[in-house]
Structures are given as C-alpha cells and as structure tokens.
Structure 1
Amino acid sequence: MEVADILIKFGLIIVIFLISLLVAMYSTYAERKVAAFLQDRVGPNRAGPFGILQPLADGAKMFMKEEIIPTRASGLLFIVGPSLAIMTACIGSAVIPWGQSIEIAGRVIPLQVTDINVGILYIFGVVSLGVYGIMIGGWASNNKYSLLGAIRAASQNISYEISMGLSIIALLLVTNTLSLKEITEQQHGFWQNGYFSWNFFKQPLGFLIFMVCAFAETNRSPFDLPECETELVGGYHTEYSSMKLGFYLFAEYINMFISSAVMATLYFGGYNYPFMDWVAAHAGSNISAILGVVILFGKVFAFIFFFMWIRWTIPRFRYDQLMNLGWRTLIPLAIANIVLTGLVITFLK
C-alpha cells in the first residue's frame, strides 16, 4: 500500500470518527427536541438560536464538573469501563460502506475504511465487546445498584444477540456473503429484474427481529433496564460523574448511530437509491456517489428519529417481559424465518 493510500485511509478514519461524535452530540439535542415536540413543549431554546448550541454547553459542563471516584471503587477498572464502552462504540463504523468510490485527481477513493469478507461477524464481535465496558464499570463502582444494572445489561445482550444472529442467518441465505460491501452492491438501485432489490422486501420479518434486537443491544427504551432510574437510581453508571459519565452517554448515542447505519446497509440498500444509474450517466459518478452518501445519512437519521420516537411513546418493560420476549418470542420467530427462507430459496430456484 502506498503512502498516499495510507494517508487517505487515515483521513477517512478521522472524518468518520468526527462525524460519529458530532452525530452523538447533536442526537442529545435532537432527543430533547423530539421529546418536547411529542409532549407539547419547547425544549432547549436558550443556548444559541433555537437552542442549537445546547450540546456544546452540555459538553463544557461535563468537562468542568468535579470528577468523583468512590473510595472503595476499583480505581483502574473504574476508568477502563467507560473507555472501553466509547472505544467499542466507535470502531464498529470501520466496515460500513458509506458510499460508492469517488475519483479525485485520477485516484479512486473508497468511502469505506476496510472491506473485509466477514464484515457482519466483525460487527457482532464489536457489539459483544461493548457489554464489557458496562460490566466492568458496574462492578468496579462497588455499588449494588451499578452491579445489578451491569448484570442486567449482560443478560440482556446475551439474550438478544442470539435472536439478532439468527435473523442475520436468514439474510445470509439470501445474499450468500458476509461482506457489507457486497450486500450493499446486491441491493443496487431500488428495482432489479422485476422485483425490489432492497433486502427489506425479501426479509421483512428478519428486519423486524433485527430492529427489536438493536433496541435491546443499545439499551434504548423500552429495553433500558440496565439504567432503570425507578429501580436502580442510574444503573451501571450511578457512581460516574464528569466526562466518564459523558463517555457512557456518548457511547449509547454512537451505538444508536452505528446500529441505524447497519440496518440501513443490510436491509434498506445503504447508499443505493432509485435511478442512481441515470444520475451517474447524466451528472457523473462522483455526484452519484455523493448523493448516495447523503441518502444513506438520510436513512440513518430516519432510524435515529424512530429510536427517539419509540423512547417517548412506549413504556419500559418489566425484566421478566424483556426475557420472555427475547427467549420465547424472538428466537422461535427467527428460527421459523430461517426455515421459511430456506424453503422459499429451495423451491423457487
């Protein structure tokens, strides 16, 4: 690999990292505005026009607050917990194809950090590691509420990762690949050979199962049992303050952003959109690629809005309801979806 290619990759990593942080930062603002709209309130409106500078004020507050480490906490692990949570949240974006390649000065630049042939397994591996940040932080706090929240998070992630994995198996039967880039290319445009090319139309039940599991994996309402304020004060981050608490909060919003990007990529065509070949032929491939990036982010923001809408619409589950849904409903549905997909592929070939 040439030096120029290494610099391009490094630049792409920096850009994606900064975009992830920016999206996470303004997701806090969007969440408060969406909540205000649904509850017939105004929401943040003091810091800047329409409260647009509120995330910056919140960030400054987080940095300036006193940092408290409990006397009986495990000092090193108390720091490792939030650090691991934010790190695993950020590295999931490495295999997501954000757009088609663009050409600048005769050099083709792929808008994807790396295209590995087991991209989906990489995503699952990163998701599995994310719970360690919560578990370590909850245990290191030496607080019973934090520990209960961490145990809930671990049980919840284990339960719903099974259903999520089974929903992906049905998708693999359709696509025959684990590469996110190849899955996106198979959904080229919107309509191919007389049928819809997006995987949502081929796997609607699989998408529904994957989306529910994504809510559970990101600890979003109605699956926010690990930080249930009515029972556990604040859950796994009860003892955290200052920017360590900020890392946990940022990790949740970055996970929501990455989960939305993965759902858009796997089931809604990623950067593909109707008439993209016509746009490429008449406006150029670069314009088509840039428009694809904008379309992908539009899909991602639509999913993020849906995450927020659900939070302020559906009440939190009880823990037994959470486990029943994961083990007794989603897993049987996912297995049935695999069998149905296999039968359809076998008899329609």
Structure 2
Amino acid sequence: MTDLSLFGHDPWWLMLAKALVIFVFLMMTLVFAVLAERKIVARMAMRVGPNRVGPKGALQSVADGVKMALKEDIVPSGVDRPVYILAPILAATPALMAFAVIPMGPAVSILGYRTALQLTDFPVAVLYVLALASIGVYGIVLAGWASRSTYPLLGGLRSTAQVISYEIPMALSFAAVFLVSGTMSTSGIVAAQAGHWYVFLLFPSFVIYLVSMVGETNRAPFDLPEAEGELVGGFHTEYSSLKFAMFMLAEYVNMVTVSALATTLFLGGWQAPWPLSVWAGANSGWLPLLWFVAKVWGFLFVFIWLRGTLPRLRYDQFMNLGWKILIPASLVWVMIVAAVRAARNEGYGVGSIALVIAGALVAIALLALLVKALRPNRSPAGTETDVPFDPMAGGFPVPPLPWQKEGSNA
C-alpha cells in the first residue's frame, strides 16, 4: 500500500504557501518558456530572435504580457457572451489545478513541520490529472462554439476529435505504469522507481505518452485546432487582450503539467539521475527539486524542438496516427505487461529482463509504424484513378489531395 500519511495534516498556512509557490513556479516557467521558445526557434532558423527589451531580449516575455493586457478587449456582437467569457477561464483553470498532485521533492522540514514537496496526493492522483485534462478541452470547444464564427467552430471540433483520439493511448500508457508500480498515487509511482526508472522498463509506454502529450496540448506538429494557415487562428480567432492571454497561459501551463507528469511516471520524478544517484545526499533535502526542474525543462525543450523542426500534419495523417497506430500498439503492450504481472503473481520467474526485451521489440515496431505513417504517401489503396479531379465539384474551390492533379485524372 502507498504511504499517504504525510498528506492531509499540514496547517492551513502551509497548504496556502504550497499552493502559492506552485502558482508562482508555473507563472515563472511560463515566462521563461515563452522567451526560450522564441530564442531557440530563432536559433534553429538562423535568426536573432528577441533582442530589444532588456539585456539580450531577456524581458521580452514581460513586454508581451503588458502588451496583451493593454490591448483593446474586442467582443464581437454576435457571440454567446456568458459562454464566450467562461471559455478561457475553463481552459486555464484545470491546467493550474492539475499540478496539485505532482511530487516535486521528498519530505522536508519547513518551520518545524515535516511535509512533502507536493500539495496533496491520493490513491487515484493520476486519474485526477487525466480528468482535468479532459475538462480543459471544454474551454476550447466552447470558445469555438460561442464565437458564432466558422473558423473558430472548426477549430473547436478539431480539438474535440483530437482529445478523444489521443487521450485513449495516453490512458493506456498510464495503465502499464499502474500495473508495474501497483499504485495510481503519484508519490507512490516515484517511490516505486527507486531502483529503476520506467523509461527503460516501459519504453513503449514512454514513446506513446510522448506522442500523446504533444497531441493533448495542441502543439506542433499536432496544432490542428489553431492552424493559422487554414483556420486563421482556430478556436481563439475572435479573442483578444486578456482572454487570448488566458488561452496562451493554458497552453504553456499544460505543457509544463504533461512534462512534469512524464517526469513523474517515467523518469523517476525528483530522484537524481545516475551517476549522481550514487551519492547518498542526492535524493534528500531540497536538492531533488533541482533534478525535477531539470527534467521538466528537458521535455519543454523537446516541445520547442518539435515546433522548430516538423511541419504540421494533414488531418488524415493525424487521425490515422492515433486510431490505427497508437491505440492498437497501446492495447498490445498493456496485454504484454498484464501477462508479465500475472505470471509474477502466480510465482513464475518472469524477471524485468523479459519485460525490457518485449518492450524493445514493441518499441521498434511502433517506431517503424510511425515513420511509415508520417512518410509522404502515394494514392491510397482503392482510390479510383480514372475519375478526373474537379476543384469546383462541391460548389467552391478545393485544393487537390497529394495523389491528385488538377486538370487531369485523379
């Protein structure tokens, strides 16, 4: 059983201080992440990036925040006003609440009280994070619907399909962690990785979660709900000033949350990496907070790297990736993990080596399928090749698909 005795006994002022520190941590991470993204993407594109506000552009995020706050708050006349105002709040609030169960360090002493560097924890904490992620999409959907405009509505519908498609493999990657650790508590999962991190033992789950968390946060190359090249700006097209800033806040805080959850589930949480873990003091006191923040920023760099490297997927590629590759692979892998766990429970000598070997084989197959799915495809099987392509067949011009040529046969 997971030891949750440290939680629920802190005085009210300590709970309030923890909540305030988490909020400040998220806001400061947001400020630095926006600046880091602009700097890193500029470096990848051989540009200078922000360099005017502050020393070498260090205060650019502050300037952006002030600019958003001082912009005119335009509300279109035809919107559903109560829902229109509620939508950005509904998108941002769950993103902030999800961090409450993330363990940022071990138990420490604060003013004579022994407490964990975590706001709270309970037996189904990971499911709590998953539930809040599901609620957050309502903000995007309602923003698109309440705007009473075509492009925001299309962005909201895309977000709905995206969350349905990618929360299933994400939940299945969680299931493998639950089976191995024997708990759904975040602090219990970190404690279960004291000897070995699950990124090695459950590598297919790690790969599936990496892909799913990018789709869950609407980040490139999966930013279909806000594809500015085709939807102007997607679900937030009709928003400005602080309401738009709340959508931006929700996106970046969600990035931090899913990165912290990946750190908790697969990278040992706040535990020190090898060879630093050999030192007895590496996992005690306040020092583990440094390891936790470093791991989270590693995932944030991956988010930025993907945005500066990969183009946006077509919608059919995006749906095929979720339903035809990630979900079947997740189901197969969970069955393998469950079979190994059942064999152990029955007393058979199935060690971790067998799980690592099976995971390596599944991961290789999964990566091969990912490369094949994202590679430019020719005409799909069953496509009729003797029907001429007419761009005005539907009453309005549409571009040809990759296997079609305008003015010739399909």
Question: What range describes the TM-score normalised by the shorter chain of this pair?
Answer: over 0.9
Whichever residue aligns with residue 231 of structure 2, its letter is L
Kindly state the Cα deviation for residue 290 of structure 1 after the two structures are TM-superposed: 1.4
* 2:228 corresponds to: 229
Tell me which residue corresponds to 1:323: 319
Give 2:159's aligned amino acid. Answer: A
Counterpart position of 2:252? 253
Take 2:64 and 2:279, find their aligned partners in 1: how far apart are those partners?
Answer: 45
**Is 1:104 matched with 2:104?**
no
Q: Secondary structure at the match of 1:102?
A: strand
Q: Cα RMSD (Å) of the superposition?
A: 1.6
Deviation at 1:167, TM superposition (A): 1.3
Q: Cα deviation per residue 1:270-297 (whole Å; 9 max; x = unaligned)? A: 10014547343xx8x7xx3311001000
Unaligned runs of 5+ in 1: none
Judged with a 3 Å threshold, the aligned counterparts in structure 2 of structure 1 residues 141 and 106 are, in CA distance, closer, same or farther, namely: same
* Alignment correspondent of 1:175: 181
The answer for the alignment partner of 2:91 in structure 1 is 85
The alignment status of 1:54 with 2:55, answered yes or no, reads no
C-alpha deviations, 1:284-341, integer Å up to 9, x for none?
x7xx331100100000001000000011111111111111000000001001111221
> Match for 1:312: what amino acid?
G
Give the CA deviation at 1:230.
Answer: 1.0
Which structure has the greater CA radius of gyration?
2
- Out of 217-226 and 161-170, give the one that drifted further: 161-170
Q: Deviations over 1:164-186 (max 9, x none)?
A: 11111111111110000000011
Cα displacement (A) at 1:105: 4.1
Q: Tell me the amino acid that sits aligned with residue 329 of structure 1.
A: I
- Paired with 1:14 and 1:245, the residues of 2 have a C-alpha distance of 24
Aligned residue for 2:40?
34
Which residue among 105, 113, 120 is the counterpart of 2:126? 120
Asked whether the equivalents of residues 47 and 53 of structure 1 are also in contact (C-alpha less than 8 Å), the reply is yes
Aligned letter for 1:68?
I
Residue 303 (1) aligns with residue 299 (2): yes
- Looking at structure 2, the residues matched to 137 and 266 of structure 1 have their Cα atoms a distance apart, in angstroms, of 32
**Which AA in structure 1 matches 2:13?**
L
1:344 alignment partner AA: V
Give the corresponding residue for 2:367. none
Q: Which residue of 6, 10, 24 maps to 1:18?
A: 24
Q: Which residue is equivalent to 2:50? A: 44
Alpha-carbon distance change, 328 to 302 in structure 1, aligned in 2, over 3 angstroms: same
Q: TM-score, normalised by structure 1?
A: 0.93
Q: Distance in 2 between matches of 1:325 and 1:157?
A: 13
- Report the 3-state secondary structure (helix = DSSP H, G, I; strand = E; otherwise coil) of the residue aligned with 1:11: helix
Cα contact 2:8–2:120 (8 A) shared by 1: no
Partner of 2:209: 210
Identity %: 43
Give SS of 2:287's match.
Answer: helix
Specify the alignment match of 1:278 in structure 2: 279
- How far apart in 2 are the matches of 1:105 and 1:325? 51
User: Are the aligned partners of 1:207 and 1:267 in contact in 2 as well (CA < 8 Å)?
Assistant: yes
Structure in which a larger fraction of residues adopt helix: 1
Aligned with 2:82: secondary structure?
helix
CA contact (8 A) 2:10 2:115 kept: no
Please give the alpha-carbon distance, in whole angstroms, between the structure 2 residues aligned to 1:103 and 1:171: 30
The 8 Å contact of residues 214 and 259 in structure 1, kept in 2 or not, is answered as yes
- In 2, Cα distance between the equivalents of 1:38 and 1:294? 27
Equivalent position amino acid for 2:47 in 1: R
The CA distance in 2 between the partners of 1:267 and 1:116, in whole Å, is 19
1:312 counterpart SS class = helix
Instruction: Report if the CA contact (8 A) 1:25-1:250 is conserved.
Output: no
TM-score (norm 2): 0.80
Q: Distance in 2 between matches of 1:229 and 1:327?
A: 25
Q: Give CA deviations for 1:158-208 in whole Å, capped at 9, x if unaligned.
A: 1111111111111111111000000001112xxx3xxxx101111000010
Query: Which residue number in structure 1 is paired with residue 330 of structure 2?
Result: 334
Deviation at 1:22? Answer: 1.3
In the alignment, which residue of structure 1 is the partner of 2:262?
Answer: 263
CA distance in 2, matches of 1:113, 1:161: 25
CA distance 1:272–1:230, change in 2 (3 Å): same
d(CA) in 1 for partners of 2:257 and 2:158? 22
Query: Which residue of structure 2 lines up, in the alignment, with residue 220 of structure 1?
Result: 219
Q: Distance in 2 between matches of 1:2 and 1:109?
A: 10
Aligned residue type for 1:155: A
- Tell me the distance in 2 between the aligned counterparts of 1:105 and 1:56: 33
Equivalent position amino acid for 1:224 in 2: D
> Between Structure 1 and Structure 2, how many residues are aligned?
337
Displacement of 1:210: 0.8
Residue of structure 1 equivalent to 2:390? none
Secondary structure (helix, strand or coil) at the match of 1:316 reads coil
